[in-house]
Structure 1
Amino acid sequence: MDESPPDPTAALLARADGPVTRRRIGLDLAALGLAEGDTVMFHTRMSAIGYVAGGPPAVIGALRDVVGERGTLVVSCGWHDALPYGFTGWPQLWQDAVRAEHPAYEPESSEADHDHGRLPEVLRRWPGAVRSRHPDVSLAALGAGAAALMADHPWDDPHGPGSPLARLVEVGGRVLMLGAPLETLTLLHHAEALADAPGKRFVEYEQPLLEGGRRVWRRFRDIDSSGGAFDYSAVTPSGQDPFETIVRDMLAAGIGRRGTVGAADSHLFEAAEVVDFGLAWIREKVGGGR
């Protein structure tokens, strides 16, 4: 006799003392230290939280409950259909087809990168959300400071000065790791962009976007946020992402708060402390202390 397919929620229910509700998430976030009026960039792994009654909207609702009308939520979106950096090495026939017909990036409708999980796509579609204009490394925000944070995302050096990440630091923002892997702490790319250390790697690439209602191709320059802005191989354990190494060292130094949200091991950091620690770490480990 054929066995019934496994229930995808069974594992979640087995390790929770009940459904994780919007109210419960809000209480756990408040206990972790998130507060009314906060501007917070969050990274989430839904499966780590447990069975969330209401799914991603319940998580966003809980975050909004805690930060209130004066607060702002921020997520990293990217663009799911962004072209790979190396598409200019494809056969000419392929390149010609892509240049002729690949859709342009549109902040209001282009899907968030699926690799970022479910929450960014849900938040960027939320009524009132604002998404930044950069096609490769867009962010989205919801709340009182959303428009100011997302405005005029620099085309070049989009993780550096004047970027939404820089503004997050300037406004005294925070970073919430809601069950998310430590290596997903995107704000460390801002530290990489600012770091003056030898061997910094850059990429140049093209993406189509809309300017004045017209589809145009624009060239961009950024740190290599995919392959690594620096060669970290000598200063990180084999098989471990460099950002995980930095965050583990940051936690060992006593930076950040740790708690449980639903069933998820979670962390709350001050954005300025993340960047300061990241800069110092890169300077010491990669730049020889310079």
Structure 2
Amino acid sequence: MDELELLKRSGGPVTRGRIAADLRELGLGEGDLVMFHTRMSALGYVAGGAPTVISALQDVVGPRGTLMAYAGWNDAPPYEWTTWPEEWQAAVRAEHPAFDPAVSEADHENGRLPEALRRWPGAVRSKHPDVSFVAVGADAEELTAEHPWDHPHGPGTPLARLAEKGGRVLLLGAPLDSMTLLHHAEALAEAPGKRWVEYEQPVRDEAGRRVWRRFRDIDSEDGAFDYEALDAVPDGEWPFAVIARDALAAGLGARGRVGAAESHLFDAAGTVRFGVDWIERVFRA
């Protein structure tokens, strides 16, 4: 989409001040800890791009607030690399760079904002190669410290701390199904049929040596549960969209416009509790 179309969508340039005013109207405020997901094109023509969005968020939460985003690792070896021909596997095992929180790029599939936040002055990143989070602000260090190698969506993780510290989740033009926080609900839910995956990725050990480590996590790619078997989830729809819509209907989130984008603001702890209850209810019915 070209600039003129974006300008028409948003009724003129979406500036830092306009974004900040819209965020305050949505309910974000001074001192908030907020994890955000953004679809830039939905906002319209953002004057200055990703840095404008981050600056506007900082204007609203202020120096006592904290911004957080899911980063991941763009150049991680794919999960299926251990099924490749042995010669290819050997080349990857011998020379694939180890994950480096300081330089490894955020997953491009998450849009421009996580990588922009990773590069932001003062940014801190958790050290899990597959499920890293990046944060800037007063609580950044505490949120990202000692990210567990295994069960990285569960207790003691950045997502758990986001909920425990009274954080919020902002979907800034991003669809409801993008709410990464619900992987934490999946990790906590006690319901039959939970699916797990194991994979290998290269990291640095305490001595700085590149080593391959095996990780265990819920299946966050195809779903930690068999949602396709549920009547509650329409065919072809990611279940997080259904859970988030139900949460909104239960009064757990706010809806409003930021620029041209329909946006949502959720309480993290309440959404986790709702997600756990939803999963446990539908899989025990």
Q: TM-score per shorter chain, which class?
A: over 0.9
Q: Which whole-Å CA distance do the structure 1 matches of 2:163 and 2:113 have between them?
A: 22
Q: Note the residue ranges of structure 1 that are not aligned, 5 or more in a row.
A: 1-6
The 1-side partners of 2:57 and 2:89 are apart by 43
Q: Which of 210, 214, 219 is equivalent to 1:215?
A: 210
Moved more, 204-213 or 127-136: 204-213
The answer to whether residue 248 in structure 2 is matched with residue 251 in structure 1 is yes
Does residue 136 (structure 1) correspond to residue 130 (structure 2)? The answer is yes
**Distance in 2 (alpha carbons) for counterparts of 1:78 and 1:169:** 20
Paired letter, 1:73? L
- Determine whether 1:264 maps to 2:261: yes
Aligned identity (percent) is 67
Matched letter for residue 241 of structure 1: W
| Deviations 1:183-208, CA, capped at 9 Å, x for gaps | 11000000000000000000011000
Counterparts of residues 166-177 of structure 1 (less than 5 Å): 166-177=160-171
Aligned to 1:40: 34
Give the Cα–Cα distance (whole angstroms) in 1 for the partners of residues 194 and 44 of structure 2: 40
**How far apart in 1 are the matches of 2:93 and 2:163?**
37
Query: How far is 1:287 from its partner?
Result: 2.5
> What SS is found at the alignment partner of 2:94?
helix
State whether structure 2 residue 243 is matched by structure 1 residue 242. no
Offset, 1:16 = 2.0
Distance in structure 2 (CA, Å) of the matches to 1:33 and 1:13: 25
State the Cα deviation string for residues 19-46 of structure 1 (Å, max 9, x = none): 0000100000011110100000000000
SS of the equivalent of 1:59 reads helix
Residue number in structure 2 paired with 1:229: 224
Structure 2 equivalent of residue 278 of structure 1: 275
What SS does the corresponding residue of 2:284 show, helix, strand or coil?
coil
Superposed CA deviations along residues 67-120 of structure 1, whole A, max 9, x for unmatched, are 000000000000001112221111100100000111110000000000000000
- CA distance in 2 between counterparts of 1:135 and 1:129 reads 17
- In structure 2, the residue matched to 1:162 is 156
Q: Which amino acid aligns with 1:147?
A: E
- Distance in 2 separating the partners of 1:243 and 1:95: 34
For structure 1, which segment, 15-24 or 148-157, has the greater mean C-alpha deviation from structure 2 after superposition? 15-24
Q: Could you state the TM-score of these two structures normalised by the residue count of structure 1?
A: 0.96
Question: Is 1:17 the counterpart of 2:17 in the alignment?
Answer: no
Q: Counterparts of 1:35-114 in structure 2 under 5 Å? A: 35-114=29-108
1:115-174: CA deviations, max 9, x gaps? Answer: 000000000111100000000010000001000000000000000000000000110000
- In structure 1, C-alpha distance between the alignment counterparts of 2:132 and 2:182, rounded to whole Å: 16
Q: Secondary structure at the match of 1:48?
A: helix
Whichever residue aligns with residue 231 of structure 1, its letter is D
**TM-score under structure 2 length normalisation:** 0.97
- Give the whole-Å Cα distance in 2 for the aligned partners of 1:142 and 1:176: 15
**Counterpart Cα distance in 1 of 2:28 and 2:127:** 28
Structure 2 runs not aligned, ≥5 long = none
Letter of the 2:267 counterpart: E
Secondary structure at the aligned position of 2:100 is classed as coil
CA RMSD of aligned residues (A): 0.9
Alpha-carbon distance in structure 1 between the residues aligned to 2:27 and 2:245: 20
Q: Distance in 1 between matches of 2:146 and 2:188?
A: 19
Q: Structure 1 residue runs of 4+, over 2 Å off?
A: none
Q: Which amino acid aligns with 2:151?
A: D
Matched positions, count: 282
Task: Give me the whole-angstrom Cα distance separating, in 1, the residues matched to 2:284 and 2:241.
Answer: 19
